[in-house]
Amino acid sequence: MTRYSAVSTDADADAPPSPTSSSPSLSAASDLPLSQKLIKVIGNVCFSFFVLAVLVVTVVAVTYQPPDPWLSSSAALTNSLSATLQNSTFRPDDSVLPTGEDLVPLNSSLIPVNSSSSPSASSVPDLVDSSSMTASEEEAASESCDPDKPVNCSDPRVLNAVKAFNQKAFTRRSIIFLSYDTPVPGSKPGECDVAWRFRNRKEKSWRRYRDYRRFHLAPGDNCTIEVSGVGKFRSGTNAAKPRPRTRSPASSTPVRVPDSEINDTIPTVGSESEFKRGKYLYYTRGGDYCKSMNQFIWSFLCGLGEAQFLNRTFVVDLSICLSGAYNPWYGKDEEGKDFRFYFDFEHLKESASIVEEEEFLRDWRRWDKKSKSGNKISVRKVPTYKVTPMQLKKDKSTILWRQFDGPEPENYWYRVCEGRAAKYIQRPWQAIWKSKRLMNIVTQIAGKMEWDYDAVHVVRGWKAQNKQVWPNLDADTSPDALVDKMTKIIPPWRNLYIATNEPFYNYFDKLRSHYKVHLLDDYKEMWGANSEWYNETMELNGGKPVPFDGYMRVAVDTEVLYRAKTRVETFNNLTRDCKDGVNTCYRQIKR
C-alpha cells in the first residue's frame, strides 16, 4: 500500500507527479456526482457574467455625459434646434415654441391628459380648506339663520359654499385653488362676487393666476347656503381689485398701471467696489441677431450656461431682433423688441446671476473713468469661440468679453458650446419661461372654455406649399380631411381649440358643424387697445403701442394647446408626412 506523508519537502513540491499515482484532490473531484459538477460550472459562468456586467456599468458611469434634462424630455424641441441645422443656422420652423416651463413630453400619438396622474398633483398642496368655519362662526351663522333674509356675502357660509362648488366643478380640470378673497355683493340680491388665486397642474411653473366670478346663492336645508348658478370666467367684476388709473397727457383714455405681480425692474450693479468685486461674462451681438427665436434661445442659453460654468454674472441685452419669419405681413426683421415682451424677466433674475447690458456698460465706463491709471478694471477680450470655456475657467479678469466679429457661421453664440465644451456646459432651460403677460392671455382663453376643451395642432403655411418635402401635408389638412379625421377622434360638440399658422380664418368652417371651434383670433380683445396686455406692454415700450406679432401668437397657441384634455398633432396623427420632411420620421430613434 502506498503511504502519503503529511509533510512534503520543496523538492517534492516541485517534482512532477508520478504517472502511476494521482493527487487526492483530483481523485476527490472525479468522485463528485455529475449534478454537483454541473452546478459548479453554472456558478462559475454566472459569476463571470456578473463581473463583466460590473465592469461595463463602471465604464459607462465614468464616461457617460447626460444630456440637458429639458432636451431629453422634448423631442420636438430637440428636432427644431440641434437636428435641423442647415449650414450652421436654424430652419425657421416655429410652429410650436416650448420653453423651460413646458416639461410635458410631446409624444408621437394622441396625448390624453389625466389630471389625477399629473406628477405635480401630489407635490402641490391645496391651500384652501373647504370646511374652515370656526366654532364661533358656525354658532353666529346658526343664530342669524333666516330663510327669508337675503344672503349676506360676508357670511362665512357663502365662502364655504363657493369653495365646495369650485372643488367639485374644477378640480378634475387640473385647477388647484390657492387662496380666496372675501366675497362682495354682486349687482342683485342673492348674488356674490368671489375672487381667488389658482394655478394649473399642467403648467410646471409656480405662477399664480386670478379669477373672479359671480355666484347665485340661495338658502338651503339646515341653515346652509347653496350655489344655484355661477357666471363665466371673470364675470364677478365687483370682486376684481380696482387698479389705479392715470390719464395720458395726450389722450383722455385711462392707462392702467402694470400688473403689480410682475417685477420687470432692471437690477443695478451697485457701487464701484461691488462692481470690481464682481466677475462678468459679456457677449457682443453676433450672427444670431435677427435669426429665428429658437436659435436665439439656443444661443442665449449657451452664453448663460457658460456664465454659470465660469461662476460669473451674464450680461443680458434686453433689446432683441424679431425675425421677419414671424411677421409674414411685413416680411422684415424688426429690431428694438424688448426681451420682456416674450420672456419672464423676473424668473430669469431669480434663476441666474444676470445684469442688464445698458446698466452694465454705463457703470463700466463710469467706474473705469474714475479709477486711477494703475487701477483700471481688468478686461480680457476673447476674439473667437475656439477659446473654450475650460481655458477661461481660471481667468481672474473682472470682465471676460467674448466678441463675435467673424463671418457667419463663425459668429454664432452657440458655437461656444460645441465640441468638447458640450460635455461641460449645461444649458439652464429652467431659466427661460414665457412672459407672464402672454401666459395671462393663455389663462383667459382656457378660462373662457371652462378649462374643458380638446385641441388640434394644424401646421400648414410654407410646409404645405412645399410638395417635394411634404407631399401629403396639404391634402391631409384640407377642410374635408380634417372633418373626416377629427370626427373619429374627438366626440361631437366639444370645445375644440385649433392652434394653427393657417392665415385664413374661415378655413375651418366645416368643423363648426361638429364642434364649438375656437381660434386665436376669436380672442383679439385680450390684446386689444382696452386690454391689460396692451397697456402693460405699452408702459414697457415708453408709451408706444406694441403689436401682437407672430411669435406672440405662436407662443399663446402653444400654451393653450398644452392645456387641452386631448391633443391631436399634425404629424403622426393627421398626416403621413414626417415633421422634418421626407424620410426623417425615424431620425430621433436612430440617434
**Predicted pLDDT at 113:** 45
> How does the average pLDDT of the chain come out, rounded?
80
Provide the CA 176 distance to its chain's centre, in angstroms.
Answer: 19
The answer on 313 and 439 residing in a single domain is no
Query: What is the band of 398 on the pLDDT scale with cuts at 50, 70, 90?
Result: very high
pLDDT average, residue stretch 529-554: 93
H-helix or E-strand spanning residue 219: strand 209-219
Per-residue model confidence (pLDDT) at position 242: 57
Confidence at residue 144, expressed as pLDDT on a 0 to 100 scale: 57
| Range in 57-66, 194-203, 205-214 the model is least confident about | 57-66
pLDDT digits (tens, 9 = 90+) for 442-474: 999 999 999 999 999 999 988 999 999 999 999
- Strands 184-185 vs 225-230: parallel, antiparallel or unpaired: unpaired
Highest mean pLDDT among 59-73, 157-171, 213-227, 561-575: 561-575
Pairing of strands 184-185, 191-200: antiparallel
Q: Are 402 and 522 part of one and the same domain?
A: no
What are the grid coordinates assigned to 366, written together?
463710469
* Same domain (yes/no): 214, 296: no
- Of 431, 455, 489, which closes a domain? 431
More confident residue, 537 or 247: 537
User: Residue 362 has what pLDDT?
Assistant: 92
- Is residue 250 domain-shared with residue 316, that is, in the same domain? no
| pLDDT higher at 65 or 474 | 474
**DSSP characters for 344-357?**
-HHHHHHHS-EEEH
Q: Predicted confidence band at 60 (pLDDT cuts at 50, 70, 90)?
A: low
Nearest-CA neighbor of 318 among 294, 353, 343? Answer: 343
Same domain, 586 and 438: yes
Q: Which of 83-97, 195-209, 412-426 has the lowest mean pLDDT?
A: 83-97
Q: Tell me if 340 is assigned to some domain.
A: yes
Q: 26 lies in a domain?
A: no
Q: What is the pLDDT of residues 368-378, one digit of tens each?
A: 876 665 678 89
Please, which pLDDT band fits residue 42 given cuts at 50, 70 and 90? confident
End residue of a domain, out of 431, 466, 498: 431
Does one domain contain both 381 and 425? yes
3-state DSSP of 136-179: HHHHHHHHCCCCCCCCCCCCHHHHHHHHHHHHHHHHHHCEEEEE
Q: In this structure, are 386 and 464 located in the same domain?
A: no
Question: In Å, what is the CA distance from 2 to each residue of 5, 20, 21, 106?
Answer: 10, 11, 9, 82
Asked if residue 8 is part of any domain, the answer here is no
> Does a structural domain hold residue 322?
yes
Domain boundary among the residues 387, 413, 431 is at 431
Express each pLDDT in 347-370 by its tens digit.
Answer: 999 999 999 999 999 999 888 876
Of 39-48, 260-269, 580-589, the one with minimum mean pLDDT is 580-589
pLDDT for position 61: 61
Give yes or no: residues 358 and 385 share one domain.
yes
For the chain, percent of residues with pLDDT exceeding 70: 74
Q: Would the pLDDT of 534 be above 50?
A: yes
261 within some domain: no
pLDDT for 300 equals 97
Is 104 inside any structural domain? yes
Q: Are residues 228 and 308 in the same domain?
A: no
Q: Considering only residues 284 and 121, tell me which one the structure prediction assigns the higher pLDDT.
A: 284
pLDDT of 330 above 90: no
Give the pLDDT confidence of 257-266 residue by residue, as tens digits: 345 678 888 8
pLDDT digits (tens, 9 = 90+) for 126-143: 445 444 555 555 555 555
* Residue 459 sits in the same domain as residue 578: yes
pLDDT value at residue 368: 81
Residue 314, amino acid: F
Are residues 484 and 439 located together in one domain of the fold? yes
Q: How many domains does the chain have?
A: 3
At residue 39 the predicted structure's pLDDT band, cuts being 50, 70 and 90, is: confident
pLDDT confidence bin for 43, thresholds 50/70/90: confident
Compute CA distances 225 → 142, 171, 289, whole Å.
Answer: 12, 21, 60
Average pLDDT over residues 67-83: 44
Residue 460: inside a domain, yes or no? Answer: yes
**DSSP assignment string, 16-34:** PPPTT---HHHHHHHTS-H
pLDDT band at 116 (very low <50, low <70, confident <90, very high): very low
In this prediction, residue 117 has a pLDDT band, given cuts at 50, 70 and 90, of very low
Range of the domain at 363: 272-431
Question: If pLDDT is split at 50, 70 and 90, which confidence band does 590 have?
Answer: very low
Higher pLDDT, 488 or 269: 488
Would residue 392 count as lying in a domain? yes
Specify the length of the chain in residues: 591
Residues 413 and 455 occupy one common structural domain = no
- pLDDT tens digit string along 150-194? 788 989 999 999 999 998 888 777 788 888 999 999 988 889 999
